[in-house]
Homo-oligomer: A and B are copies of this chain.
Amino acid sequence: MLRKPYEKAANETINTGFGAKTEQSSDRIFDTKGKATVKKTGLSFIESHSLYHTLVELSWRQFYLIIFTSYLIINLIFAFIYYFLGREAVEMVLTNDSNLSFFSECFFFSTQTLTTVGYGHISPNSFWASLVASIEAIIGVLILAVATGLLYSRFVRPQSFVKFSNNLLVTPHKGIFALMFRMAPYKNTQLSEAEIFVSMVLKVEENGVMVNKYYKLETEISKISTFILSWTIVHPINENSPIYGFDLEDLQDDKMELIIHLKAFDDTYSNIVVKNYSYTFQDIVHGAKFVPMFTSNANGNATILDFTKLHQFEIVM
């Protein structure tokens, strides 16, 4: 392939909201999980973090760890308060008379109050203990309210469960080459009206300064009415392509990054879901094509979509 001068790129550069000067921006704009590689400074932790977003995006393991740790800490705090209110304040039957034994009963009194289980074999026996217990009980109620909200949010958070192929293939296609990758929805949801926007970043020299150039890539099909099977995105490298005439080294020199923005309507959630993804020049395989991923089953009443083949390709030249 011949290298084509940048200034003749047929595609207009587009505004992505990212920096124009290379020195101002990171090497890769999105990581493979679709998160932008941006760090914010000059803000307090509180200001720069939405507690809600943070708690909703944690893994389930981290989320439950936080829940149980908070439960432990709150109960320890109240246990200490009951402990310092003294042995007269809380009525209980102690099997042995040690302070540790008293403290552990205070702790369990706290758990029974916070969860509102309130067996009653331990109960407040003074004005102050009763007051603290009534505050703890309402806090317990509010915590339940928050936990409900968070768990619900985590459940219903609209997500596009779509897997992308590991590689970006350069495939012979209708007499020229084409850049190809594919995606498939992997959950038991139904996506419709899926739309894809593909843009490319090239780091090039312009008037002696290294700048980021953003191009919208034309793809053969950019919208489908039902996104249920795998979908292969095809960018023909013709004279309208910003990388027309490039070879692999050119892409490497320019630190090519492909930014993918997928948008679809989830029929179950009745909501729009989005997914960002990114490929770099290191993901390119030259002269390969994807192996088919779906086929009809034996009696013809279902189409089988085989995810073991999602990343598979065969070398064709």
Interface stretch (choices A116-124, A171-179, A240-248, A280-288): A116-124
- Asked if residues B41 and A308 are in contact (CB atoms below 8 Å), the reply is yes
A95 to B130, CA, bound (A): 13
- Asked if residues B119 and A123 are in contact (CB atoms below 8 Å), the reply is yes
Contact of A309 among B27, B42, B111, B309 (CB under 8 A): B42
In the complex, chain B residues whose CB is within 8 Å of the CB of A158: 270
In the complex, chain B residues whose CB is within 8 Å of the CB of A84: none
- Asked if residues B145 and A151 are in contact (CB atoms below 8 Å), the reply is yes
A303/B37 contact (C-beta < 8 A), A112-B118, A295-B23 known: yes
A186/B147 contact (C-beta < 8 A), A115-B140, A270-B274, A297-B26 known: no
Contact of A134 among B37, B115, B271 (CB under 8 A): B115
CB-nearest residue of chain B to A292: B24
A253 at the interface (CB under 8 A from B): no
A152 to B155, CA, bound (A): 11
A277 at the interface (CB under 8 A from B): no
A34 to B67, CA, bound (A): 36
A298 to B150, CA, bound (A): 37
A10 to B133, CA, bound (A): 70
Residues 22-51 of chain A: 1 if any B CB is under 8 Å from the residue's CB, otherwise 0?
111111110000011111111100011111
